[in-house]
Structure 1
Amino acid sequence: MNPGGVLCARRLRVSRGGRSILRDVSLAAVPGQLLVLVGPNGAGKSTLLSTMAGLLQPDEGQVMLDGRPLAAWPLRELARRRAMLSQRVDLAFGFSVEEVVGLGRSPHVPDIVRDDRIVDAALRAAHAWGLRGRRYTDLSGGEKQRVQLARVLAQIWEAASAGGWLLLDEPEAGLDIAHQHFILRRARACAAAGFGVIAVLHDLNLAARYADRVAVLADGALLRHGEPGEALDPGLLSAIYGIPLMRRAGGAIDVL
C-alpha cells in the first residue's frame, strides 16, 4: 500500500486499570473515504479513534501517517493534518462563534486576512454562517455542534491535497435526525474533497447509508472491515449486540 496520506494502526494494544480495551487491532484508512467504526458499548471504538488521532498512546503497536509514526510528528505539524471532533466540547467562556471557530487556526502561523477568510469559509461549510456574532454559550446543542464542526474544518482547511484527516467521535450523539444527517453529509463531502474521514457511530443504519468502509469492533477486537454490505453482516451483528437483527431490502438493519 502506498503510504502517502494513509492513516494506519498496527497491532494496537491498549489497557486501562488492568482491562484490555484494544487487542491487537490493525486498521488502515485512506484519504477520499469515510470509514465508520461500529460496535456495542465498550467495544473500543472511541479508544481506537483517540489512538489513531495521536491523543492516546498505545501500550503496544503504533499508528503511522504517511508511513511515519505519529510519535515522530511535531505536534503543530500533526495538528495541521488531522482534527478531531469529540462527542461534546464544553466551553464555559463567553466566546463568540467566530472566536470558537478561530481556535482551529491556532496550530498555524498567524495571518489575519487568511485566517478570517478560512473561518468564514468553515462557517459556511458547516451551515453555521447565520450564527455569527452570537455567544457560544447561548447556542442550542445542534448549533454548538455545527460551530465545533466549523472549528475542526478551519484547523485542517488547507490539508485536503496533503491527505488531511477529520476524526469524528459519535458526531450524531444527542442531535435530532436532521442534524445527524447534516453532519454525515458534511463528512461525505469532506471525503469527496480529498480528506480521510473516520467516524464512530452507534446507529448502524447511518453507517450503512454513509460509509465507504465499515470496521466492526467488539470486546476490543476488530472483527470485520470492509464495504458496508459485507461488514454489516446481520449474523455477526446479532452475535455481538445480543439481539436478533436482519437486513431489509435496501440495506437497512432492523430487529427481528
Structure 2
Amino acid sequence: MNVSKHGHLVAERAAVVREGRTILRDVSLTATPGRLLALVGPNGAGKSTLLGALAGRVALASGRVMLDGKVLPAWDPRALARRRAMLSQRVDLGFGFTAHEVVLLGRSPHAADATRDEAITQGALRAAHAWELRDRRYTALSGGEQQRVQLARVLAQVGDGGRDGAWLLLDEPEAGLDIAHQHFILRRARACAAQGLGVIAVLHDLNLAARYADEVAVLGAGSLLRHGPPAEAMDTALLSDIYGIALGRSFGIDAA
C-alpha cells in the first residue's frame, strides 16, 4: 500500500473499542483525492465510527490513520483543520449566530484575511444553496436549512483546498433533507471531487450511493466487507445478507 502520495487518506488495520466492545475491527482503506467514496451498511456497521477515525476525532485501539503518509496525531490541529472538514449528522448551536456567522467560523483555522474569508464565505453560502438564509438566526432554521448552512461551513473551511489535497467528510449529509436537496447535496459533493477534493460520505440511501459515488465501501458488524466501484462493491447478495432483507438490482425492496 502506497501511503506517500500527496493527499491520500489511509486507514491501516484501524480498530475502535468502546467499553470492551469492538466497534471497528482491522479496517484498511485508502481514499483518493478527486473521488467520492461512499460508506454504506446497516445501522451499527461502523460507518460513522470509521468516518470519525478518518477525521482524527475517534481514538483508535490499534492501527493508524494517515494523511500524506503522516499519522493524524502528529499533525498540528490547525494544519489538519485546514486540510479536512467534517459535516456531522447534527450540529447544535446555542448561540444566536446568523447563518453567515456560522459559515464564517469555518475560516477560523486559516490566517486572518478578512477580504478573502468573506469572499470564500459568500461563495460557500451560494454553493450550498444557503445564500437566502445568510441573515437569519441559525437557531431559527429548520433541520434541513441548518444542514445546508453546515455544508457551507465545511466548504468554507477547506476553501480552495482541492489544490492542497483537502478532504470533506460528510456523515449522512442527506439526513433531514427533502429529495431535491438530497440530490443537490450529492451533486455538490461530486462537484467538489471534480475540483480535486477528496470526499467521503456516510450514506444510508443505497440508490444515492450507487448514483453518485465513484467508489463504495461496504461495512458490516465493524468490518470492511467490500471496496470498489459501485457496480462491483454493491453486490446484491452481500447487501441482502447484511441488511437482512431481499434487495433488488435497483436496491429497492423486492419483497416485504
Distance 2:69 2:200 in 1: 18
* Residues 215-234 of structure 1 aligned to structure 2 (within 5 Å): 215-234=217-236
Distance 2:173 2:108 in 1: 22
> How far is the alpha carbon of 1:246 from its aligned partner?
1.8
- Quote the residue 2:139 is aligned against: 137
Report the secondary structure of 1:63's partner residue: strand
When normalised by structure 2's length, the TM-score is 0.96
Distance 1:254 1:197 in 2: 25
- Quote the residue 2:253 is aligned against: 255
> How far is the alpha carbon of 1:218 from its aligned partner?
0.3
> How far is the alpha carbon of 1:158 from its aligned partner?
2.5
Distance 1:76 1:221 in 2: 31
Distance 2:39 2:116 in 1: 34
> How far is the alpha carbon of 1:146 from its aligned partner?
0.9
Distance 2:156 2:86 in 1: 12
Distance 1:132 1:39 in 2: 35
Distance 2:205 2:246 in 1: 16
- Cα shift readout 1:94-138 (whole Å, capped 9, x = no counterpart): 101111001101111111111111111111111111112111112
Runs of 5+ in structure 2 lacking a partner? none
- Quote the residue 1:104 is aligned against: 106
- Quote the residue 2:47 is aligned against: 45
Distance 1:202 1:183 in 2: 14
Identity of aligned residues (%): 69
- Quote the residue 1:74 is aligned against: 76
Matched length: 252
> How far is the alpha carbon of 1:143 from its aligned partner?
1.3
Q: Which runs of 4+ in 1 moved over 2 A?
A: none
- Quote the residue 2:203 is aligned against: 201
Distance 1:223 1:238 in 2: 13
- Quick check: 124-133 or 21-30, which moved more? 124-133
One-letter amino acid matched to 1:64? M
Distance 1:134 1:246 in 2: 43
| Root-mean-square deviation (Å) | 0.9
- Quote the residue 1:91 is aligned against: 93
When normalised by structure 1's length, the TM-score is 0.96
Report if the CA contact (8 A) 1:3-1:65 is conserved: no
* Residues 1-256 of structure 1 aligned to structure 2 (within 5 Å): 1=2, 3-247=5-249, 252-256=250-254
Distance 2:55 2:188 in 1: 20
> How far is the alpha carbon of 1:162 from its aligned partner?
0.9
One-letter amino acid matched to 2:252? D
> How far is the alpha carbon of 1:174 from its aligned partner?
2.0
